[in-house]
Amino acid sequence: MATLISWNCRGFQNKSAELRDLINKHKPACIALQETFLKADKHSIRQYKFYSKHHIADRASGGVAILSATDIPTIPVTLNTNLQAVAIRIQTHSLITVCSLYLPPSERVSQTDLNNLIHQLPSSFIISGDLNGHSSLWGSSDSNSRGLQIEQFIADHNLCLLNSDEETHFHLPTRTFHSVDLAICSSPLLPF
């Protein structure tokens, strides 16, 4: 079975050693990255193809990328969206779509944009990313409007949340743990 990793790296360039350690330890078929903080597409990791979308700003911020092992067939998926999202189709045991998504906490995200993203993803997909939503559905002690929006998004499209209630992020200013990094898949991918 192929290993897929999702990581909110908070800066691709300054985390290259950690990324290489992840690759050497797990030998993943695919790595979805969020908050890459990149401004250009001229980046590479040996034995991996690099697909990315950068946040358009005066400074490097946000951004997403997907790394796929060069020995595994992949095809980029063209997305027509303002969301920070990138997707590929990858041939593991079957053909699946992997989408890396970052929803900045300070930006309003419309339900229409999320719905349009889903309609552009070929079926049998995984969306992995930092969605910056809080909900008891994935272990938060409270819910916020983004969390409720994501809950509705999951319900509207009959999606499956792959997270446990384990926290995924430590917020240094408040010294609290949160679950904002989510993995969501289309129902055919979840074994019953």
pLDDT in tens, 83-124: 999 999 999 888 999 999 999 988 899 999 999 999 999 989
**Contact between 155 and 127 (Cβ < 8 Å):** no
Indicate the pLDDT class of residue 188, thresholds 50, 70 and 90.
confident
Tell me what percent of the residues of the chain surpass a pLDDT of 70: 83
Q: How far apart are CA 139 and CA 134, in angstroms?
A: 8
Indicate the pLDDT class of residue 179, thresholds 50, 70 and 90.
low
**Contact between 182 and 138 (Cβ < 8 Å):** yes
pLDDT at residue 42 tops 70: no
Q: What is the CATH number of the domain that holds 64?
A: 3.60.10.10
pTM given for the model: 0.88
pLDDT at residue 39 tops 60: yes
pLDDT at residue 60 tops 70: no
Which domain does 41 fall in, by range? Answer: 4-189
Return the closest-CA partner of residue 109 out of 141, 135, 83. 83
**Contact between 102 and 130 (Cβ < 8 Å):** yes
> What letter does residue 45 receive in the DSSP assignment?
B
Q: Based on the structure, what is the number of domains in the chain?
A: 1
Indicate the pLDDT class of residue 185, thresholds 50, 70 and 90.
very high
Q: Cα torsion for 126, 130, 136, 142, to the nearest 10°?
A: -170
Calculate mean pLDDT across residues 134-139.
80
Find the range with the poorest average confidence among 27-31, 34-38, 59-63, 87-91.
Answer: 59-63
- pLDDT higher at 104 or 40: 104
